[in-house]
Chains A and B, each alone.
Chain A
Amino acid sequence: QLQLQESGPGLVKPSETLSLTCTVSGGSISSSSYYWGWIRQPPGKGLEWIGSIYYSGSTYYNPSLKSRVTISVDTSKNQFSLKLSSVTAADTAVYYCARGAVAAHIDYWGQGTLVTVSS
């Protein structure tokens, strides 16, 4: 059974960089049939796709966040990571890592991690 687990600081100061890692277990992150992505959910609100990375290393980001987002993968550790720079209070959210089938549904989600942006 595939499992995804987010890790990283739960509190980030304004203007700093949010960094999260997703560790994948029970399967390989190198599969060509899937992408690995980040999705966030502000408290009490809906879901927002942040971006995805494919086995080829290609990345795609939400245009609304593109200038601040970097997603990378470390196949040796079966992990992928998110960096979001210049954060503000509006970036406070539960951040989920997830696996999606290419051009299809998201079939596995991490449990989510709350990141609060505050001084």
Chain B
Amino acid sequence: EIVLTQSPDFQSVTPKEKVTITCRASQSIGSSLHWYQQKPDQSPKLLIKYASQSISGVPSRFSGSGSGTDFTLTINSLEAEDAAAYYCHQSSSLPLTFGGGTKVEIK
């Protein structure tokens, strides 16, 4: 099973600040890494697919990078509506797995 380790677990950030969340895979997964945003009492929403590919309708301040075992989700110029939990997810091999999540709070 591929273990995804996210860091940090929690981040408190002021609006307009830049946020960086990392996801490390226990073995190489190429670019089969996807990012989701989950707001309270909502289902997850796809933000980035295949490590760096943008999703229609997702604000351009969200971007992803990385390959192999190390990946990053960046939120440029954080907005109040970005308060949420963020999860990485690998589809390289079964069982499908998720990172433990990063909760982003707005100061």
Contact = CB atoms under 8 A, between A and B. Distances in A.
Interface of A: 37, 46-49, 52, 60-64, 96, 100, 103-107, 109-112
Nearest to B101: A46
Given A109-B44, A110-B43, A111-B43, A103 B98 contact: no
Nearest to A60: B94
What is the interface residue range for chain B against chain A?
A: 20 to 34
Contact of B91 (A47, A96, A104, A111): A104
B100 A46 contact: yes
B43 A105 contact: no
Contacts of A104: 32, 34, 49-50, 91
Given A104-B32, A109-B43, A111-B43, A63 B1 contact: yes
Instruction: Kindly list the 4 A-B residue pairs having the minimum CB-CB distance in the complex, ordered from nearest.
Output: A109-B43, A105-B34, A49-B96, A47-B98
Interface in B27-57: 32, 34, 36, 42-46, 49-50
B87 A106 contact: no
Contacts of B92: 103
Contacts of A48: 98
B59 interface: no
Contacts of B97: 49
Contact of A103 (B32, B36, B100): B32
Contacts of A109: 43-45
A32 to B, nearest CB: 17
Contacts of A107: 46
A97 B86 CA distance: 19
Contacts of B99: 46
A52 B92 CA distance: 15
B24 interface: no
A104 B51 CA distance: 11
A41 B51 CA distance: 23
Contacts of B1: 63
Nearest to B48: A105
Contacts of A60: 94-95
